Every structure is written in C-alpha cells, then in structure tokens.
Amino acid sequence: MMRPGPVRADGGAPSTDVAGSWPRKEPDTHAMSVEGPCRRSSRRFRREKRPNPSPRSSLPTPSLRWCRCSSCPAAGSRGIGLTVRMRVACFQSGVGGLLPAGEWSRVLRECGARGVDLLVTPEFGVGGLPHTAAAAEERAVDDPESLLPLAEGSAPGMTVVLGFTERTDVGLHSSAAVLRDGGVLTIVRKRHPREPGLVAGGESSVVEVAAMGVGVLVCADATRPEPARSLVAGGAGLLACLLNNDMSEANAARWQRPTHEALADRARENGCWVVSADVAGTSPGRRALAATRIVRPDGSLLATVPPQPGRLLVRDLA
C-alpha cells in the first residue's frame, strides 16, 4: 500500500455518487432510554417516554445507534444507547491533491448544503504525495493553523479532515488536521510512514462528531490492527482513513484486494464504521487504487465510487 513514485494529476469535474435518495437530515434531537444525558456529547437530548402518537407531533422518529461512551448512563447492560445520526462525506481527489481550488470550493459548498457532519480527504490532500525527501521538505507545513483557510467555506459545525505534510521539531510527518469552526481540533501523525524523508508519529486522540467518537488513521496505519484497536478503546465508533494509494500498475494489481480487505477487517475486528478517502487517476505505468468507501461495522461494504478523480461519496450512518 502507498508506494511512492511520480504520477501526473488526472483532472476531472467533481461528481456526487448517489444510490437512491436520502431523507432530509433529522433535527438535532436525540433520545435516551435512561436517566440523564451523555456527558461527552455537546448535542441536545430528550428523555424517551414513548407517548402515544399525536397528530400534532412534527418530530420524525429517529433511528437508533449504540453509544460507545463509557461514561454515558445509556451504556448499560440492556444495550440501549443514544439516538444519533451522522452524515459523512469522502472526497476522492486526483493524485495531485485538492486541486484546482474551484473544485475544492464546490465540494465544501455541496457538503454544507447537504448537511454533512464529517468530510474526509485523502492523505497528502494538501500538496500531493511527496515522491522524494526534498519534495517533502519543500511541501511541509510548519503551522497547521495555516490550513484553516482551506476550510473557510465549510458549514458551521462541519468537521473537515485534511491530509498534509507537516514539519515538527522531530522531523517531517504525514499528518491529518481535524478542523472545525475556524479551529484545529487535533493533529494526527502517521505512525508507520513509508515515504522518503518522513518520521513516525505517536498516539492520537478521539474527537467527537455528531455525538460519535471519531478516530483518524493515516494510510498504512489502517493496514495494522493495533492503531485501530487503540482508537476504538479510546471511544471511537468510526475510523476515518486517509489513503494515498498512488503506485505502479504492478503494485496496484497486487494491493487492490488487500487494501479493501484491510478496511473491512478493521471494521469487523472493532465493530465500528470505517470510512476512507483515496486518490484516483492513471498515467503511463501507474494507477491509483481509488479505495474510497464506507464499510459497515460487520465488515460489509455500504458504498463506494468509481475510480475517477473528483468523486464525492455521501452517506448517512445510523
């Protein structure tokens, strides 16, 4: 997975892949079947009293999802948890990254219009994959807050995960910045880098998005069980995987199936959602895997997109 090498960016207009249609997003209201709200959630809650149906009630019936929060009173022996919904988007860019700027702006506008809670982009989405140590040095970002303008077009409350090359006191990293409402929530650094000139990062934290814990894995980290297991133990119910599978045609043929299997394994092993954003495109002798997909907690595939750059995958997780 993720072998470095030169590739030309393959352009393409952004496209949204929709299987069927979705209902409008439900109001920000959640039900609990036990006393008290979840202390880790910033969302609003109501107690579920199951009244008789009333023709005057305009609230839709929300779907149920298990709460993974260890401090939540809902996480009891009956297994009745919080009513939550998350709308997630995965953007499949060309191998050159989030270019052109107009395309990325349209992605942010569309995600805002559709009420997306979490937008995931590929590894090295900012600047593209550095094929040499010199390229990594040239593209490295010293201050992650300098990435905030890239999320300025995002809707209030939407969380954007951007992949980039970062410079720290210990060296260069393949990193992911988790941005929301004009701030940097956390930085995740790849623990198992394979690119020239990059050094390993450390443990990362879980962030909350739409009342669900989200952990971030950067590319090769998703091929190993331990980083995912650690994030789920820390409260993650969803793993967001930033991929950059830009490689030779021979390696692409070798890694296509193992990449898909690794994502399914991480979901199945941990009983959590797995979403990934990869790059797409071809050039003479090279092909990106375009492994952008959403995997259910049982390891089955919910949705994917064609292997073309500019694709936006949007789904509801309930």
Q: The pTM is what?
A: 0.76
Summary mean pLDDT of the chain: 81
Let me know if residue 233 belongs to a domain. yes
Tokens 């982009």 — which residue? 121
Residue 303 has pLDDT above 80, yes or no: yes
DSSP line for 109-125: HHHHHTT-SEEE--TTT
Give the containing element (helix H, strand E) for 214: strand 212-218
**Can you give the pLDDT at residue 134?**
97
Let me know if residue 21 belongs to a domain. no
- Identity at 233, one-letter amino acid code: A
Nearest to 207 by CA among 240, 174, 229: 240
pLDDT level of residue 100 (50, 70, 90 thresholds): confident
Rounded to 10 degrees, the C-alpha dihedral 156/174/213/299 comes to: 120
Let me know if residue 89 belongs to a domain. yes
Nearest to 155 by CA among 219, 217, 102, 109: 109
- Identity at 178, one-letter amino acid code: V
**Can you give the pLDDT at residue 111?**
98
Phi, psi (5° rounding) for residue 83? Answer: -90, 110
How many percent of the chain have pLDDT more than 70? 74
- Mean pLDDT for 229-250 is 97
Q: Tell me whether residue 212 is exposed, middle or buried, using C-beta atoms within 10 angstroms of its C-beta: 0 to 12, 13 to 18, 19 or more.
A: buried
**pLDDT tens per residue across span 250-275:** 999 999 999 999 999 999 999 999 99
Give the containing element (helix H, strand E) for 15: strand 15-17
**Can you give the pLDDT at residue 318?**
81
Let me know if residue 147 belongs to a domain. yes
CATH number assigned to the domain comprising residue 108: 3.60.110.10
Q: Provide the 10 A C-beta neighbour count for residue 234.
A: 15
Using CA atoms, how far apart are residues 2 and 219, in angstroms rounded to an integer?
A: 7
Instruction: From residue 87, give the alpha-carbon distance in Å to each of 123, 151, 233, 258.
Output: 21, 18, 23, 27
Helix (H, G, I), strand (E, B) or coil at 52: coil
- Identity at 124, one-letter amino acid code: F
Domains of the chain: total: 1
Using CA atoms, how far apart are residues 164 and 126, in angstroms rounded to an integer?
A: 5
Let me know if residue 185 belongs to a domain. yes
pLDDT level of residue 17 (50, 70, 90 thresholds): low
Let me know if residue 252 belongs to a domain. yes
**Can you give the pLDDT at residue 62?**
33
- Mean pLDDT for 235-246 is 97
**Can you give the pLDDT at residue 302?**
97
**Between β-strands 279-280 and 86-94, what pairing exists: parallel, antiparallel or unpaired?**
parallel
Let me know if residue 295 belongs to a domain. yes
Nearest to 122 by CA among 175, 48, 78: 175
Nearest to 214 by CA among 119, 146, 289: 119
Q: What is the largest CA-CA distance in the chain?
A: 67
Using CA atoms, how far apart are residues 209 and 214, in angstroms rounded to an integer?
A: 7
Residue 85 has pLDDT above 80, yes or no: no
Let me know if residue 74 belongs to a domain. no
**Between β-strands 118-120 and 86-94, what pairing exists: parallel, antiparallel or unpaired?**
parallel
Nearest to 12 by CA among 278, 254, 313, 307: 307
Residue 73 has pLDDT above 80, yes or no: no
The rounded Cα 51 to chain-centroid distance in angstroms is: 37
Q: Which of 3-17, 166-180, 207-221, 292-306 has the lowest mean pLDDT?
A: 3-17
**Can you give the pLDDT at residue 24?**
42
Provide the residue range defining the domain that includes 240: 84-317
